[in-house]
Amino acid sequence: MEFAFTEEQEELREMVKEFVEKEITPFAEEMDRNNAATPELFKKAADMGLLNVIVPEEYGGPGLDSVTVAMIYEELGKGCAGIATSIAANSLASYPVLLKGNDEQKKTLCDLLNSGGLAAFALTEPGAGSDAGGVATKAVKDGDHYTLNGNKIFITNGGLADTYLIFANTRKSGGIRGLTAFVVPRNTPGFSIGKKEDKMGIRPSNTCELILQDVVVPESARVGREGEGFRIAMNTLDSARPFVAAVSVGLAQSALDIAAKYAKERRQFGQPIASFQMVQAMIADMAMKVETARLLVYKACWLRDQGLEFSKEAAMSKCYAGDVAMQVTTDAVQIMGGYGYSKEYPVEKKMRDAKIMQIYEGTNQIQRLVIANKILY
Ligand code: COS
């Protein structure tokens, strides 16, 4: 068992760290206020090779393994969980095509990501959140094309993406056996961007509604077979959950670092508050939680990289790291007291950012369900 990163991985981590310190952390508060990323940020991220990390070498990408990708997302999460989410959403949107797409679909999507384009994964709807099988968007086949009608909500990169992975139902009666995946380019007639969300946290990430009104796509836009969409979505979420968990780890680690530094500087009763054992116990508990979450993330990624079953560990990592992010950021605010609660210090934003980690890409209640099912049945 090897716990250390290789020299190449450490070099890559250092590069991402520098990028985060230069391009993300100094603007995190401003981006949070503006409810948007700084202009050019994604272009700079693309130039750094951060948007196409899972694109295989045969399609012109670096084809990084999951452990390395998680390491990158952990670093991004330290700077801003919102930006990390937007960047990671490209991996989420790519998996369906990489898993089940044909060569042409893979080539088109990978070329887009290699050239700095953005992608979005669109499963969620007003009536289909945890119940992913409840998708009401319809795809009706007529000859060699499909007509799509419906609405998607809470779509990360929704307003920014160049291409969308849309899940629609090809069965009149609906249900998971009719769920089917399609690639829909942004400029397709009938496709439009709806309301942009004004969120509690991860505000620099763009979250929008998508509207499909008689969107006609060729049969060649379908990914996999009709009715294969639920399995594709589940496989995709399995693969992407450790990455969300990695963002949670980075977020929690950065809150811990800020709180620990503050505790050494802040003096009360004539001494740094770090000398008080109640503060020390909090710091120790925070550090233990972050480290155990990290171990789960890398275990899940390692299993995936070995080609072993990893769905349970993916759910565990997402659930545990998300809960840890919430607990650790809350404790960081507590250690910093009134200053922690003020927008003048970054932990207030981090605590707001952490909440979504327990909600998106499958609520932590759903993750517990997945874990229990894997153990019991
Ligand atoms: N990998 C492959 N197949 C899977 C799977 C997985 N991880 N999970 C379920 N399936 C398959 C099952 O094997 C079953 O196949 P068969 O009918 O052929 O036996 C089918 O999918 C249905 O499974 P299940 O009965 O468990 O489906 P449910 O409708 O009960 O839903 C949950 C299962 C709740 C786990 C699923 O809907 C889910 O993950 N929901 C959360 C969705 C989510 O993460 N949304 C976030 C928005 S996208 S960012």
Q: Give per-residue pLDDT as tens, 181-205.
A: 999 999 999 999 999 999 999 999 9
The pLDDT mean for the chain works out to: 97
> Is the CB of residue 366 below 6 angstroms from any atom belonging to ligand 1?
yes
Is the per-residue pLDDT at 245 higher than 90? yes
Residues paired with 192 in a beta bridge: 211
Best substitution site from 94, 232, 234 to test ligand 1's pocket, by max atoms within 8 Å of Cβ? 234
Give the Å distance between the CA of 234 and the centre of ligand 1. 5
What's the average model confidence in pLDDT over 301-305?
97
- Quick one: pLDDT at residue 60? 97
Residues paired with 272 in a beta bridge: 267
Residue 306 CA to residue 67 CA, distance in Å, equals 11
pLDDT tens readout for residues 1-47 = 889 999 999 999 999 999 999 999 999 999 999 999 999 999 999 99
- Quick one: pLDDT at residue 269? 98
* Max Cα-Cα span within the chain: 80
Residue pair 276/352 in contact (Cβ under 8 Å)? The answer is no
Give the Å distance between the CA of 127 and the centre of ligand 1. 16
> Is the CB of residue 356 below 6 angstroms from any atom belonging to ligand 1?
no
Give the Å distance between the CA of 92 and the centre of ligand 1. 16
In the chain, what percentage of residues exceed pLDDT 70? 100
Give me the CATH code for the 7-118 domain, please.
Answer: 1.10.540.10
What residue's CA is closest to ligand 1, atom 5?
234
Angle (CA) 321 135 161, round 5°: 65
Report strand pairing: 179-185 vs 222-223: antiparallel
Residue 57 annotated among the catalytic residues of the structure: no
Residue pair 138/148 in contact (Cβ under 8 Å)? The answer is yes
Report strand pairing: 163-169 vs 119-122: parallel
Query: Under DSSP, is residue 209 helix (H, G, I), strand (E, B) or coil?
Result: strand
Give the Å distance between the CA of 132 and the centre of ligand 1. 7
Residue 256 CA to residue 327 CA, distance in Å, equals 11
Indicate the pTM of the whole model. 0.97
What residue's CA is closest to ligand 1, atom 35?
370
Give me the CATH code for the 230-376 domain, please.
Answer: 1.20.140.10
What residue's CA is closest to ligand 1, atom 14?
231
Residues paired with 267 in a beta bridge: 272
Give the Å distance between the CA of 43 and the centre of ligand 1. 35
Query: Under DSSP, is residue 155 helix (H, G, I), strand (E, B) or coil?
Result: strand
pLDDT tens readout for residues 251-300 = 999 999 999 999 999 999 999 999 999 999 999 999 999 999 999 999 99
What is 120-226's CATH superfamily?
A: Butyryl-CoA Dehydrogenase, subunit A, domain 2 (2.40.110.10)
Best substitution site from 86, 125, 208, 230 to test ligand 1's pocket, by max atoms within 8 Å of Cβ? 230
> Is the CB of residue 109 below 6 angstroms from any atom belonging to ligand 1?
no
> Is the CB of residue 248 below 6 angstroms from any atom belonging to ligand 1?
no
> Is the CB of residue 367 below 6 angstroms from any atom belonging to ligand 1?
no
CA distances from 213 to 42, 92, 143, 180 (A): 29, 24, 19, 17
**From 125, 313, 348, 361, the catalytic residue:** 361
What's the average model confidence in pLDDT over 141-156?
98
> What residue ranges do the domains of the chain occupy?
7-118, 120-226, 230-376
> Which helix or strand (DSSP H or E) is residue 102 part of?
none
For residue 240, the ligand 1 atom closest to its alpha carbon is: 49
> Is the CB of residue 327 below 6 angstroms from any atom belonging to ligand 1?
no
Q: Which DSSP letter does residue 267 get?
A: E
> Which helix or strand (DSSP H or E) is residue 145 part of?
strand 145-156
> Is the CB of residue 13 below 6 angstroms from any atom belonging to ligand 1?
no
Residue pair 289/259 in contact (Cβ under 8 Å)? The answer is no
What's the average model confidence in pLDDT over 135-139?
97
> Is the CB of residue 234 below 6 angstroms from any atom belonging to ligand 1?
yes
Query: Under DSSP, is residue 105 helix (H, G, I), strand (E, B) or coil?
Result: helix
- Quick one: pLDDT at residue 2? 87
Give the Å distance between the CA of 101 and the centre of ligand 1. 20
